[in-house]
Amino acid sequence: PDENTIRHFRNRMIETGTLKRVMKAFDWQLHKKGYIPMSGQLIDATLVPAPKQRNNDGEKEAIKAGKSAREIWPDAPNKAAQKDVDARWTLKIGGKLRYRPDGTPLPQIATPVFGYKSHISIDRRYGFIRSATVTSAAAPDGRQLSRLVDKGNMSAKVWADSAYRSQRNEKWLARNMMNSQIHRRKPRGKPMAEHTARANAKKSSIRAAVEHVFAHQKNRFGLFIRTIGLARAEAKITLANLAYNFNRLIFHETRAAMG
Beta bridge partners of 46: 118
> Residue 147: what are its φ and ψ, rounded to 5°?
-80, -20
Q: How far is CA 17 from CA 26, 98, 238, in A?
A: 15, 44, 11
Check residue 103 and give its pLDDT: 64
C-alpha 258/C-alpha 255 separation (Å) is 5
Structure confidence by residue, pLDDT tens digits, 155-166: 999 999 999 999
> What pLDDT does 95 receive?
67
pLDDT in tens, 170-193: 999 999 999 999 999 888 877 788
Q: Which CATH number fits domain 3-49+116-257: 3.30.420.10, 3.40.50.300, 1.10.1040.10, 3.40.50.150?
A: 3.30.420.10
- What was the pLDDT predicted at 17? 84
The pLDDT score that the predictor gives to residue 4 is: 82
pLDDT per residue rounded down to tens, the chain (259 residues): 777 888 888 888 888 889 889 999 999 999 999 999 999 999 999 999 999 988 999 999 999 999 999 999 999 999 999 999 999 999 998 766 677 776 667 777 889 999 999 999 999 999 999 999 999 999 999 999 999 999 999 999 999 999 999 999 999 999 999 999 999 988 887 778 889 989 999 999 999 999 999 999 999 999 999 999 999 999 999 999 999 999 999 999 999 998 7
For position 38, what pLDDT does the model report? Answer: 93
pTM of the model: 0.90
Question: In whole numbers, what is the pLDDT of the chain averaged over residues?
Answer: 92
* Contact in structure between 119 and 99 (CB atoms under 8 Å): no
Angle between helix axes 18-32 and 3-16 (nearest 10 degrees) is 80
What are the backbone dihedrals phi and psi of residue 138, each rounded to the nearest 5 degrees, phi first? -85, -5
Neighbours of 157 (CB within 10 A): 15
Helix 194-219 × helix 230-257 angle, to 10°: 100
pLDDT at 3: 76
- 1: CB partners within 8 A, 6+ apart: 9
Residue boundaries of the structural domains of the chain = 3-49+116-257
